[in-house]
Chains A and B, each alone.
Chain A
């Protein structure tokens, strides 16, 4: 049974989003995703300043098994990336909702986040 925190929003493509009061959001991949991938060996994220459209591929999470595209759940501009993942990509396996966060976006339209899945619906999706 994977962990699905109640205070996050989820995309069907297994990214999670945590909106902050200042209109930025942190994005990562879910516990279900990291478990499916296995040992994560490399994470590729865009440069700070990159503008992303909702649903656009923004990076790759590589594991021993396969390489997987990651999709932006909502539109925004990259304001920070998790540099620690360069040396220790396994943090995504160990703490997918914590230390394994991928990037932070300045949201183009904060209301877009409301259209994402809540934890109950995401849990059903991955049951």
Chain B
């Protein structure tokens, strides 16, 4: 056997992180917890993270049918505070932050002047002039530099809070039932994309009804020092709810099944939110923001390329970078691909010439041509409260 290094992050070499960069990956507070539970560790965006504890497919199915616990402490956090915080955020991001009120969360992109994406992120409104941003792990340094540059001239500050926060996600149909006995916060009253400050298992947390799986669940932001205590309490309470420990492998297949973009794949510095099908997070009527002129023009003219989601009816995974073909030749490339454990077939996303998206598209898997059946995501129905 010869194991090809796949182009997905899953195939990146482990331990020591000596390949590609000379620095060792960072550890989350749960590093020893992962290892003691049999986590298979890889370097993800410079972090030593568990890809899986057992089987990625079983972990994925656990989240869809029961619940799973993810360590997402590698994600970044930043405070945006001050009298002009809202004005700054309105300039910085594509979505309309006036929709926020204390306890509400907003998903948005922030773009470069040329319309490409700096990052996709969540904005939490704690109070007047007081916001928390959640950033992708691989973009923390870039995002903070970008925001520090853009905030000049606004009466507010941007502060990196990533070292202060750990984050756990509990996701799945039994997730809320698992967490409720551990907290006085009434989860039935906590709607999707809302959050509250409270305690879970005696640990002070920001409790967020959000997630990256398409299932019901919560994301808990706590102090770094409390992460192990919180994780252990959740595991201890987990058996009656069928809790499984779940790694980044399942996190990726779950988000792809749910039709959620992953920065670096469906969104990049060269892919705009309009191209990626995220026009709904771009609000042109809220006033000017970075990139709005280019995005307005793209919306008017139509995108030259678009991100499409597909299934194949076959089990062979169509991996990232695979050329997408029409009758004449290559019209794009796959950006994400996996096996959907729920559909039992390969699913993925591709960046293709917009006109080509209306034709029959195929991919060549080791000499066999497979048709791409374009799907409007999600591939499975999403559960929202």
Contact = CB atoms under 8 A, between A and B. Distances in A.
Contacts of B249: 38, 64-65
B188 interface: no
Given A64-B10, A64-B317, A39 B4 contact: no
Given A42-B317, A64-B339, A70 B253 contact: no
A33 B339 CA distance: 20
A71 B1 CA distance: 6
Contact of A36 (B3, B10, B51): B3
Interface string A101-125: 0000000000000000000000000
Contacts of A48: none
Contacts of A54: none
B55 A39 contact: yes
B1 A13 contact: yes
B52 interface: yes
B56 interface: yes
Interface in A11-58: 13-15, 29, 33, 36-39, 41-42, 44
B6 A65 contact: yes
A68 interface: yes
Interface string B1-15: 111111010110000
B95 to A, nearest CB: 33
B316 interface: yes
A89 B58 CA distance: 14
A67 B6 contact: yes
Given A41-B339, A42-B316, A64 B1 contact: no
Interface string B298-334: 0000000000000000011101000000000000000
A70 B339 CA distance: 21
A44 B1 contact: no
B98 interface: no
A69 B56 contact: no
Given A38-B249, A64-B339, A93-B55, A29 B5 contact: no
A66 B6 contact: yes
Contact of A13 (B2, B8, B11): B2
A113 B3 CA distance: 24
B366 A68 contact: no
Contact of B1 (A38, A70, A89): A70
A99 interface: no
A14 B1 CA distance: 6
Nearest to A34: B1
Contact of A62 (B40, B52, B316): B316
Contacts of A33: 1
Contact of A60 (B5, B6, B366): B366
B316 A64 contact: no
B108 interface: no
Interface in B21-78: 40, 51-52, 55-58
A78 interface: no
A68 B4 contact: yes
Interface in A54-90: 60-62, 64-71, 89-90
A41 B317 CA distance: 8
A42 B52 CA distance: 19
A33 B33 CA distance: 26
B174 interface: no
Contacts of B5: 66
A39 B1 contact: no
Contacts of A60: 366
Given A36-B3, A64-B317, A69-B4, 14 more contacts: A13-B2, A15-B1, A38-B56, A39-B56, A42-B315, A44-B316, A60-B366, A61-B1, A65-B249, A66-B5, A66-B11, A67-B366, A69-B1, A70-B1
**The 3 A-B residue pairs with the shortest CB-CB distance in the complex, in nearest-first order:** A66-B6, A41-B339, A42-B315
9 contacts: A29-B1, A33-B1, A36-B3, A38-B40, A38-B55, A41-B315, A67-B4, A90-B55, A90-B57
